[in-house]
C-alpha cells in the first residue's frame, strides 16, 4: 500500500498506457503468412511460444532418440518410395500449373467485363482527419444519398480516393490516394505497365511494384487499371515526376496526383457502375487451342510484300487470334477496344514491311509478363 501511494502517478500512467495498448492490440490486425491476426493474439502467442517450444523440443528430443537411433527398421525402403512420390508430384505440379495458366486466360476472355460510370453524386468536403498521418476527408453526403463504403470518389480532374465509411444520412469518410494505407490499381499510359498507387507517410503519392529493369520516364501519365474492382478503368490518377531505383528490385516512382488533394472542396462519388461486355462481334469464335498456342514459341513471319494493311483498329482482330506468335503479348480484347494505341496494335507492327520490327518474333521481343499485365482482371 505504501509502495503504491509513493508511486501513485507512475502506476496510474502505467495503467492508462496499458489499457490503451491492450485496446490497440485488440483492434490491430497484423498481416502474417496465414492471413491477418490480431496483435493481442500475436503478443500472447509470442510470449507463450518459447515455453511451448521448450516443452515440444524436450518431447521431440526424447522421441528423436528412439526413432532416429533405436528404431530405424525399414527407413531405406521408405525413403525410396518417398523419392518416387516426389518425382511424380513434380510432374503433376507442372501439369497443373499449365492448366491453371490456361484456365486464367480462358476465364479472362470469356468473362471479361469493363465497368463504366453510370451515376455520380456531388458532395461537399466538410472536414479532414486533422492529422498529417491520416489522409482522410469527410463529405456531407451519406446513406440518404446512396453512398456506400468502397465507392470511388473523383473530380473532373481525376481520382481522389474511395469511401471508407458512411456515418448516417449525411456524412461519410473518404480515404484519399495519398494515404499510406490506400491502394489503387494503375496503368502507365505509354508503357502499359501496371502497378499500385499508394500514399507515403509524408502525403506524397508513389507507384509501387514496377520492376527495376522497366523503362519509366517522368511525365508519363497513369490511369486506373480497373483491376482493384473499385475504380472504373481509365480515370486519370497522376503523372510521373521522379524515377529512381528503389529497394527490393523495384523502381521508386514518385507521382504528382492529377487532383490537388490539398485543396478539395467538391467531389463526385460514383454511386453506380455498369458492366459492359467488350465488343467481340468481329473476333469470331475463340478456341482454347488459340489461347494455348499463345504459350508456344512462334515461327517468325516473313516480311509481307503486299500492300500495307489498314491501321490496327481497322485490321480484323481475328488475325491477331489466328497468329498467336504475334498476339502473344496482347489479348484479343485490347486490340478490339483500343485501336488508337500503338502498344495494343500488334497487327500494325507486323504488317509494316521493311521496318526493323517486321519479321521479328514477337514472343522473344516482348517479355512474357506483359501478357499477364494487360490481361483483364
Partner 1 sequence: MRAMNLSYTSNEQVEVYRFSWPVSVGLPLLLVGLQAFLPVRLHFFRVFDFGLLLTIFFAVSRRSQVSGLLTGAVIGLLQDCLTHTPFGVFGIAKTLVGYGASSIGIRIDVENPGSRFLLAFFFYGIHQAVFVAIERELMGQSIHLNLGHEAGAAVANSLMAVFLFAALNRLKIRD
> Site residues (CB under 8 A) for partner 1?
8-9, 12-13, 16-17, 20-21, 23-25, 27-28, 30-31, 39, 125-134, 136-138, 164-165, 173, 175, 179-181, 201-202, 262-265
Instruction: Name the residue nearer to partner 1 (CB basis): 32 or 77.
Output: 32
Cα–Cα distances in Å, from 93 out to 34, 87, 90, 192, 295? 22, 10, 5, 31, 17
Instruction: Name the residue nearer to partner 1 (CB basis): 9 or 111.
Output: 9
Instruction: Name the residue nearer to partner 1 (CB basis): 40 or 293.
Output: 40
Instruction: Name the residue nearer to partner 1 (CB basis): 164 or 375.
Output: 164
Nearest to 187 by CA among 157, 171, 210: 210
CB of 7 to partner 1, least distance (A): 11
CB of 237 to partner 1, least distance (A): 21
CB of 201 to partner 1, least distance (A): 5
Q: Are residues 163 and 125 in contact, defined by beta-carbon separation less than 8 angstroms?
A: no
Rounded to 5°, angle at Cα 112 from 109 and 113: 160
CB of 198 to partner 1, least distance (A): 11
Nearest to 187 by CA among 335, 349, 55, 370: 370
Q: Are residues 189 and 171 in contact, defined by beta-carbon separation less than 8 angstroms?
A: no
CB of 112 to partner 1, least distance (A): 33
Q: Are residues 188 and 222 in contact, defined by beta-carbon separation less than 8 angstroms?
A: yes
Torsion angle, CA of 82/87/91/97, rounded to 10 degrees?
70
Q: Are residues 153 and 140 in contact, defined by beta-carbon separation less than 8 angstroms?
A: no
Grouping H, G, I as helix, E, B as strand and the rest as coil, residue 280 is coil
Instruction: Name the residue nearer to partner 1 (CB basis): 229 or 263.
Output: 263
CA-based torsion, 366, 368, 373, 375: positive or negative: positive
Instruction: Name the residue nearer to partner 1 (CB basis): 42 or 286.
Output: 42
CB of 262 to partner 1, least distance (A): 5
CB of 202 to partner 1, least distance (A): 5
Beta strand 172-176 with 184-188 is: unpaired
Instruction: Name the residue nearer to partner 1 (CB basis): 14 or 314.
Output: 14
Amino acid at each position: 500500500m505504501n509502495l503504491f501511494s509513493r508511486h501513485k502517478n507512475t502506476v496510474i500512467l502505467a495503467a492508462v498506457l496499458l489499457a490503451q495498448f491492450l485496446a490497440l492490440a485488440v483492434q490491430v490486425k497484423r498481416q502474417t503468412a496465414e492471413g491477418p491476426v490480431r496483435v493481442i493474439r500475436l503478443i500472447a502467442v509470442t510470449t507463450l511460444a518459447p515455453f511451448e517450444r521448450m516443452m515440444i523440443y524436450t518431447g521431440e528430443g526424447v522421441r528423436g532418440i528412439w526413432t532416429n537411433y533405436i528404431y530405424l527398421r525399414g527407413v531405406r525402403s521408405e525413403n525410396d518410395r518417398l523419392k518416387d512420390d516426389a518425382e511424380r508430384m513434380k510432374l503433376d505440379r507442372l501439369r497443373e500449373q499449365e492448366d491453371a495458366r490456361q484456365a486464367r486466360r480462358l476465364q479472362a476472355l470469356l468473362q471479361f467485363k469493363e465497368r463504366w460510370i453510370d451515376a455520380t453524386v456531388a458532395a461537399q468536403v466538410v472536414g479532414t482527419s486533422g492529422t498529417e498521418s491520416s489522409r482522410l476527408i469527410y463529405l456531407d453526403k451519406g446513406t440518404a444519398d446512396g453512398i456506400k463504403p468502397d465507392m470511388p470518389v473523383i473530380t473532373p480532374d481525376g481520382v481522389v480516393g474511395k469511401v471508407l465509411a458512411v456515418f448516417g444520412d449525411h456524412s461519410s469518410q473518404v480515404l484519399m490516394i495519398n494515404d499510406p494505407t490506400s491502394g489503387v490499381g494503375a496503368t502507365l499510359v505509354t508503357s502499359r505497365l501496371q502497378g499500385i498507387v499508394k500514399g507515403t507517410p509524408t502525403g506524397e503519392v508513389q507507384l509501387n511494384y514496377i520492376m527495376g529493369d522497366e523503362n519509366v520516364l517522368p511525365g508519363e501519365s497513369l490511369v486506373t487499371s480497373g483491376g482493384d474492382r473499385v475504380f472504373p478503368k481509365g480515370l486519370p490518377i497522376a503523372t510521373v515526376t521522379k524515377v529512381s531505383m528503389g529497394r527490393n528490385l523495384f523502381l521508386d516512382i514518385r507521382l504528382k496526383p492529377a487532383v490537388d488533394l490539398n485543396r478539395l472542396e467538391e467531389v463526385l462519388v460514383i454511386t453506380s457502375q455498369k458492366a459492359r461486355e467488350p465488343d467481340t462481334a468481329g473476333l469470331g469464335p475463340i478456341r482454347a487451342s488459340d489461347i494455348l498456342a499463345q504459350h508456344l514459341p512462334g515461327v517468325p513471319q516473313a516480311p509481307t510484300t503486299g500492300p500495307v494493311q489498314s491501321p490496327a483498329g481497322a485490321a480484323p482482330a481475328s488475325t491477331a487470334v489466328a497468329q498467336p506468335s504475334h498476339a502473344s503479348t496482347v489479348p484479343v480484347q485490347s486490340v478490339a477496344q483500343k485501336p488508337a494505341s500503338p502498344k495494343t496494335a500488334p497487327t500494325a507492327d507486323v504488317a509494316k514491311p521493311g521496318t526493323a520490327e517486321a519479321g521479328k518474333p514477337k514472343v522473344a521481343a516482348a517479355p512474357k509478363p506483359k501478357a499477364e499485365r494487360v490481361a483483364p482482371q
